[in-house]
Amino acid sequence: SGAARYCVFGNPIAHSKSPDIHAAFAAQTGQDLVYERRLAALDGFAAAARQFAAAGGRGANVTLPFKLEACALATALTMRAQAAGAVNTLSFSDGEIHGDNTDGDGLVADIVRNAGVAIAGKRVLLLGAGGAARGAMLPLLEQRPAELSVANRTQAKADALVRQFAPLAGAGRLQACAFDAAGGVYDIVINATSASLGGALPPLAPGVFGRDTLALDMMYGARPTVFMDFAAGHGAQVRDGLGMLVEQAAEAFLVWRGVRPDTGAVLASLRAAL
Ligand code: NDP
């Protein structure tokens, strides 16, 4: 008996907002659970996760730098985790370790539900080809965009992503492109690079942004990123990654508890505390 136990593993982990988000979800839905931060040693993630499961833990979120290791640790993977090649949500039951990835569906939920922007039939430009971009590919393609173009500093990685997901593109156009050769105005531009972390901006053609463009940076903080400032300066509607963070948590909560919390109030209070 007692509360169901969950945690988030990362290194560093002190600044993770996930415990606050899941505590708010639990209160809202009346679920009896506790959710803690767990610092794992850089060479100690798998042992820490197994130990948490053996001690009765029901599930865990996984953040930097352990998402690939969590994928390897899982004894079964959802399709979206397989496609992402990474796991951010583990569930422990009967000795099995189920690996899932809710980041991409969190992104899509933030765009479609929170920003109110449909992806179906739209032209989408995805910047980056690292872990966050890979995790976004399947959920974005499931929305059936008219076009999904992927631009990355190391273009071979964008080419590889496009090859991997080509069988899932359906009738939509899926292609790699250069940052500055991106063709005309896009409906949605997603920055999945880590360039904003260092205050850098991918060398984008300003013409990718129009008055109706949604420009979303996966990064978030107290100030808009350089990407958000650049996009806003060229007329786009801008959005940071805080909504994606809350929505990936809501998807994980759904995986674990079978109920999807309302995210609006939680997002607003996180925003106010930034
Ligand atoms: P990775 O290290 O896996 O990938 C980094 C990507 O950024 C690569 O495509 C890399 O290009 C590119 N990049 C790095 N620096 C530059 C630069 N100066 N100019 C152009 N491109 C650059 O990181 P992740 O994919 O894991 O994370 C990307 C971002 O997404 C991070 O800021 C992270 O915080 C954010 N994120 C947000 C989430 C949320 O919930 N809001 C969830 C997950 C991630 P190259 O291949 O050429 O090296």
Task: For residues 138-160, give the mean pLDDT.
Answer: 97
Domain boundaries, the chain: 4-101+243-273, 116-240
Task: Report the nearest atom of ligand 1 relative to the CA of 240.
Answer: 41
pLDDT one-digit tens code per residue, 23-74: 999 999 999 999 999 999 999 999 999 999 999 999 999 999 999 999 999 9
State the distance from the centre of ligand 1 to the C-alpha of 226, rounded, in angstroms: 14
Question: What percent of the chain lies above the pLDDT cut of 90?
Answer: 96
Q: Give the ipTM.
A: 0.98
Kindly state if the Cβ of 194 falls inside 6 Å of ligand 1.
yes
Residue 1's pLDDT band (boundaries 50, 70, 90)? low
Residue 180 pLDDT greater than 90, yes or no = no
- Domain 4-101+243-273 adopts which CATH fold? Rossmann fold (3.40.50)
The mean of the pLDDT values for the chain is 96
Instruction: Decide if 4-101+243-273 and 116-240 have a common fold.
Output: yes
Statement: residue 181 has pLDDT above 80: no
Biggest CA–CA distance in the chain, Å, is 59
Which one of the listed residues 67, 98, 122, 123 is annotated catalytic?
67
Q: Which CATH architecture has domain 116-240?
A: 3-Layer(aba) Sandwich (3.40)
Q: Is 67 a catalytic residue?
A: yes
pLDDT digits (tens, 9 = 90+) for 92-128: 999 999 999 999 999 999 999 999 999 999 999 999 9
Q: Is 248 in the pocket of ligand 1 (CB under 6 A)?
A: yes
Please tell me the residue having the least CA distance from ligand 1 atom 31: 194
Cβ–ligand 1 distance for 241 under 6 Å, the answer: yes
Tell me: pLDDT of 9 over 70: yes
